Amino acid sequence: MSTRPRPIPRPEPDPTTHVASSPGVLSVRSARVKHARRLATRSFRVKTGEFLAEGPQAVREALTLAGTVIEVFATAEASRRHKAWQADGLTWHVVDDDVLVEIADSVQPQGIVARCRDLTRTIASIEAIAWRLVIVCFEIRDPGNLGAVIRVADAAGADAVLVIGDSVDPLNPKVVRSTAGSLFHLPIVVERDADRALTLIGRRDVQLLAADGGGEAQLFDDAVDLARPTAWLMGNEAHGLPMAVRERCDQVVGVPIYGRAESLNLATAAAVCAYASAHALRG
């Protein structure tokens, strides 16, 4: 009696090599897809040391940092458009639109998402960096605000962004998108212990300036020496900076309002302060 030959088992693909899967190979029920989707939560990002970069600009910038991108999920159209990015050694999955929708955080994903390794750093890890301009974010809660501040810091040539206290996670998907790729351009430091962070900043040869509308000095006053290395401290959107934190700063500085606006939003105030310092430091 003849028997049908057993099928030869196919080996699992090596995740360290380039993979270009066919559409439909990964479904919304695939383990890789479920894993990537869970990175929307902070607890899973902390547990795995991973996060997602969504959209062409973020993925392109992530790919410039060696060892940052673990794997890429892209639609067939996005894969054709970004074929030059598909280097040897990069795991690249071509997936159906429903898989991208499952993984992505945005309502209308732009066809490509990268799973990346955590790139945030500790204050101790940037001790060797000369601080000329640093932006310190104290308990900033809105993802869009933090992302915009990181983008501003990058544009102004800041040396680092420090995210201290009970702030939103800089690897939150909305933060990552709001940085428009700037997250990958400069060190992002996370320190949940704000007191420890301020103590360590105080040991550096920089002046700590608090940006606050009720400051005793105004940004362009002669009493504010912006040509000195500076750490700008930006406070919580709703409550600003507590008095105990303000008292640890060298000066509390307000941005002058020349028109009828009541105040500036956080990201705009950060942009004005960062660029004022950047101009003075380069003058």
Structure confidence at residue 108 (pLDDT): 87
In the chain, CATH 3.30.1330.30 sits at 19-117
The full DSSP string for 214-261 is T-SEETTSTTS-TTS-EEEEE-BTTTB--HHHHTTSSEEEEPP--SS-
Structure confidence at residue 263 (pLDDT): 87
> Which class is 19-117 in CATH?
alpha beta
Structure confidence at residue 19 (pLDDT): 47
Structure confidence at residue 95 (pLDDT): 96
| Beta-sheet pairing, 133-138 with 19-20 | unpaired
Of 3.40.1280.10, 3.40.630.30, 3.50.50.60, 3.90.1310.10, which CATH number belongs to 124-282?
3.40.1280.10
Is residue 44 packed enough to be buried (19+ CB in 10 Å), middle (13-18) or exposed (0-12)? middle
Could you count the other beta carbons within 10 Å of the beta carbon of residue 14? 9
Torsion of CA 172, 174, 179, 182, to 10 degrees: 40
For the chain, how big is the Rg over CA atoms in Å?
A: 23
Give the pLDDT confidence of 27-73 residue by residue, as tens digits.
999 999 999 999 999 999 999 999 999 999 999 999 999 999 999 99
Give the separation between CA 5 and CA 50, rounded to whole angstroms: 43
Please report, in tens digits, the pLDDT of each residue of the chain (283 residues total): 444 444 434 333 333 334 444 444 799 999 999 999 999 999 999 999 999 999 999 999 999 999 999 999 999 999 999 999 998 889 999 999 999 999 999 888 999 999 999 999 999 898 888 999 999 999 999 999 999 999 999 999 999 999 999 999 999 999 999 999 999 999 999 999 999 999 999 999 999 999 987 778 999 999 999 999 999 999 998 888 999 999 999 999 999 999 999 889 999 999 999 999 999 999 7
Structure confidence at residue 27 (pLDDT): 93
Structure confidence at residue 107 (pLDDT): 86
Structure confidence at residue 128 (pLDDT): 86
In the chain, CATH 3.40.1280.10 sits at 124-282
| End-to-end CA gap in the chain | 91
Structure confidence at residue 216 (pLDDT): 84
